[in-house]
Structure 1
Amino acid sequence: MKLDLSAKIGRRTFLCAGGACSGAVWAWPRVALAQGFSNRWPHVDALARGLVARRQVANVVALLGYGQAPVDVIAYGHDGFIDDRRSDPDSLYRIYSMTKPITGMAALLLADRGLLALDQPIADFLPAFANMQVQKQHDGPISSDNLEPAIRAITVRHLLTHTSGLGDGVVQTGPIAQAYRDAGVIPGAVSRLEIPGLVRSAPAPSLAAFADRLAALPLLWQPGTRWCYSVGIDLLGRIIELASGQTLDIFLHDTIIGPCGMDSSGFQVPQAHIGRLTTNYLGLMGTMLPIDLPQNSVFLDPPPFPAGGAGLVSSPRDYDRFLRMLAGNGMIDRVRVLPESVVRLGTSDLFPGTLSADDPYARHFGFGAGGRVGKGAHSGTFGWFGIAGTCGLVDMRSGLRHSLFTQYMPADIYPVQTEFPAAVLQDRASHR
Structure 2
Amino acid sequence: MQYRKIETANLGRRGFLGLAGLGAAAAAMPAPLWAMAQDSYPTVRAKITEFVAQKKVANALAAIGRGSAAPEVIAAGTLALGDSNAVDIDTIYRVYSMTKPVTGMAAMILIGEGKMKLDQPISDFLPEFKDMTVLTDPANSLEAVPAKNAITVRHLLTHTAGLGYTIITKGPLLQAYLENGLAPGAVSKLELPGFPKPAPTPDFKTFSERLAKLPLIAEPGTKWSYSLGLDLMGRVIEVVSGMEFGAFLKARIFDPLKMNSSYFQVPKSEIPRLTTNYGLLFGSLIPIDPAADSVYLDAPAFPSGGGGMASTARDYDRFLHMLMNFGELDGERIMALETAKLGMSNLLPAGVDVSGTWIDQAGHGAGGRVGLGQQAGSFGWGGAAGTNAFVHTGLKLRATGMTQYMPADVLPFQRQFPEWVIADVLAQMGL
> TM-score by structure 1 length?
0.90
Residues 1:329 and 1:310: Cα distance change in structure 2 (over 3 Å): same
> Which residue number in structure 1 is paired with residue 329 of structure 2?
332
> Which residue number in structure 2 is paired with residue 77 of structure 1?
77
CA distance in structure 2 between the partners assigned to 1:278 and 1:374 by the alignment: 31
Aligned partner of residue 81 in structure 2, secondary structure: coil
**Displacement of 1:202 after TM fit?**
3.2
The answer to whether the Cα contact below 8 Å between 1:227 and 1:359 also exists between their aligned partners in 2 is: no
CA distance in structure 1 between the partners assigned to 2:71 and 2:356 by the alignment: 37
* Between 155-164 and 422-431, the greater mean CA deviation after superposition: 422-431
> Which residue number in structure 2 is paired with residue 19 of structure 1?
none
**Displacement of 1:32 after TM fit?**
3.3
> Which residue number in structure 2 is paired with residue 92 of structure 1?
92
AA matched with 2:4: R
> Which residue number in structure 2 is paired with residue 137 of structure 1?
137
AA matched with 1:348: S
Counterpart of 1:311 (choices 301, 308, 332) is 308
CA distance in structure 2 between the partners assigned to 1:204 and 1:414 by the alignment: 30
CA distance in structure 2 between the partners assigned to 1:74 and 1:188 by the alignment: 29
CA distance in structure 2 between the partners assigned to 1:78 and 1:362 by the alignment: 33
AA matched with 1:394: V
1:29-428 matches, within 5 Å, as 29-33=3-7, 39-143=39-143, 147-198=144-195, 200-356=197-353, 360=357, 363-375=360-372, 378-428=375-425
* Between 166-175 and 199-208, the greater mean CA deviation after superposition: 199-208
Residues 1:322 and 1:358: Cα distance change in structure 2 (over 3 Å): closer
* Between 374-383 and 30-39, the greater mean CA deviation after superposition: 30-39
**Displacement of 1:30 after TM fit?**
2.6
Of all paired residues, the percent bearing the same amino acid is: 46
Q: 1:351-373 CA deviation, whole Å, 9 max, x = no partner? A: 01142486755651100000111
Q: 1:119-162 CA deviation, whole Å, 9 max, x = no partner? A: 0001111111111111123333113xxx2221110000000000
CA distance in structure 1 between the partners assigned to 2:4 and 2:281 by the alignment: 38
**Displacement of 1:375 after TM fit?**
3.5
The answer to whether the Cα contact below 8 Å between 2:43 and 2:423 also exists between their aligned partners in 1 is: yes
Aligned partner of residue 419 in structure 2, secondary structure: helix
AA matched with 2:125: F
CA distance in structure 2 between the partners assigned to 1:398 and 1:200 by the alignment: 43
The answer to whether the Cα contact below 8 Å between 2:185 and 2:307 also exists between their aligned partners in 1 is: no
> Which residue number in structure 1 is paired with residue 34 of structure 2?
none
AA matched with 1:427: D
AA matched with 2:201: A
* Between 178-187 and 370-379, the greater mean CA deviation after superposition: 370-379
**Displacement of 1:243 after TM fit?**
0.2
* Between 285-294 and 192-201, the greater mean CA deviation after superposition: 192-201
CA distance in structure 2 between the partners assigned to 1:261 and 1:356 by the alignment: 39
CA RMSD of aligned residues (A): 1.8
Q: 1:356-414 CA deviation, whole Å, 9 max, x = no partner? A: 48675565110000011123664321011000010110002111001100001110001
CA distance in structure 1 between the partners assigned to 2:171 and 2:2 by the alignment: 48
**Displacement of 1:249 after TM fit?**
0.3
> Which residue number in structure 2 is paired with residue 20 of structure 1?
none
The answer to whether the Cα contact below 8 Å between 1:35 and 1:74 also exists between their aligned partners in 2 is: no
Aligned partner of residue 76 in structure 2, secondary structure: strand
* Between 103-112 and 203-212, the greater mean CA deviation after superposition: 203-212
Residues 1:244 and 1:205: Cα distance change in structure 2 (over 3 Å): same
The answer to whether the Cα contact below 8 Å between 1:34 and 1:88 also exists between their aligned partners in 2 is: no
CA distance in structure 1 between the partners assigned to 2:186 and 2:199 by the alignment: 8
The answer to whether the Cα contact below 8 Å between 2:57 and 2:403 also exists between their aligned partners in 1 is: yes
Give 5+ residue unaligned stretches, structure 2.
Answer: 11-36
Q: 1:19-73 CA deviation, whole Å, 9 max, x = no partner? A: xxxxxxxx53332337579631111112111110110000001011112212111
The answer to whether the Cα contact below 8 Å between 2:238 and 2:244 also exists between their aligned partners in 1 is: yes
**Displacement of 1:336 after TM fit?**
1.4
CA distance in structure 2 between the partners assigned to 1:360 and 1:55 by the alignment: 31
CA distance in structure 1 between the partners assigned to 2:39 and 2:131 by the alignment: 57
Residues 1:425 and 1:377: Cα distance change in structure 2 (over 3 Å): farther
**Displacement of 1:298 after TM fit?**
1.0
Q: 1:89-142 CA deviation, whole Å, 9 max, x = no partner? A: 111000010001111001011111121110000111111111111112333311
